[in-house]
Amino acid sequence: MTTFNDKIKIDEHRDCKRCKGTKTATKWIYDPITKKGDFGPAPCDECNATGMISKPDFDNIFQVITKKVKGSEKRAFRTGKPKFENEHKNQEEGRAYYVWRMVRFHSGQDVTMPVVASMCVTYDPFERELDAFASYVAKGAFGTDLAGATRWARALGYEVRDTPNLPASAQSGGPVVLDNDKPPAEHPELF
């Protein structure tokens, strides 16, 4: 079994991007007694008021976004979104969802902007590493990590030379989703 955690050499902890390591963040505080609210300092919810966020467990993320192939030691990328309790509240679930969605974007399975997934890692100081991991998985599972970038570069007016071996979703006017596995929470991305 591949152990990504041993291969990916990054800091064990980094400062939380929300509180910047101070353990407190500005948030809306409501007093039910006075029935008034205002913005003020409060313990940071992103890092549980520790000021630090631990590095991702890439091995666990890989297990969540893939499934075992019957009769083999190999794993295949999950076409459907993995079941999560709440990827917007649980950091580990949010990271796994982000990687799963970015694999779909990079590979061309779904080239709509991954806005919902990005909200799961807004304050995560390891977002760049999670995105790089998604590119790695996309290339291994689908043979490319350039489909989403190619589609959006063209949409933004950049000239992109013909890129053979990319799915139809990477081409201007091509489909934006290659399968029917787009989660309902992401359907607003289609409009």
- 3 state SS of 185: helix
Residue 113 predicted with pLDDT over 70 = yes
Average pLDDT for 65-69: 94
Which region among 13-17, 54-58, 178-182 has the lowest average model confidence (pLDDT)? 178-182
Which stretches of 74-119 are DSSP H helices?
A: 91-107, 115-119
Contact 150, 92 (CB under 8 A): no
Between the CA of residue 101 and those of 20, 26, 50, 82, 118, what are the distances in Å? 27, 30, 28, 10, 9
Contact 4, 58 (CB under 8 A): yes
Average pLDDT for 181-187: 80
- 3 state SS of 43: strand
Helix, strand, coil percent values for the chain (each to nearest 5): 35, 15, 50
* Amino acid identity, position 26: T
Burial of 150 (0-12, 13-18, 19+ CB in 10 A): buried
- Please tell me the predicted confidence (pLDDT) of residue 1: 54
Kindly state the percentage of the chain with pLDDT values over 70. Answer: 98
User: C-alpha angle 152/156/159, rounded to 5°?
Assistant: 90
For residue 14, report the phi and psi dihedrals to the nearest 5 degrees. -140, 160
Contact 165, 171 (CB under 8 A): no
Residue 117 predicted with pLDDT over 60 = yes
- Please tell me the predicted confidence (pLDDT) of residue 161: 80
Which region among 41-55, 86-100, 149-163 has the lowest average model confidence (pLDDT)? 149-163
Residue 148 predicted with pLDDT over 90 = yes
Bridge-partner residues for 38, per DSSP? 29
Between 182 and 71, the more confident residue is 71
Q: Tell me the pLDDT tens digit for each residue of 22-47.
A: 999 998 888 899 999 899 899 999 99
- Please tell me the predicted confidence (pLDDT) of residue 47: 94
- Please tell me the predicted confidence (pLDDT) of residue 132: 96
Kindly state the percentage of the chain with pLDDT values over 90. Answer: 66
- Measured CA to CA, the distance from residue 12 to residue 89 in angstroms comes to 22
Antiparallel, parallel or unpaired: β 75-77 and 36-43: unpaired
Average pLDDT for 114-118: 93
- Please tell me the predicted confidence (pLDDT) of residue 124: 96
pTM of the model: 0.88
Burial of 159 (0-12, 13-18, 19+ CB in 10 A): exposed
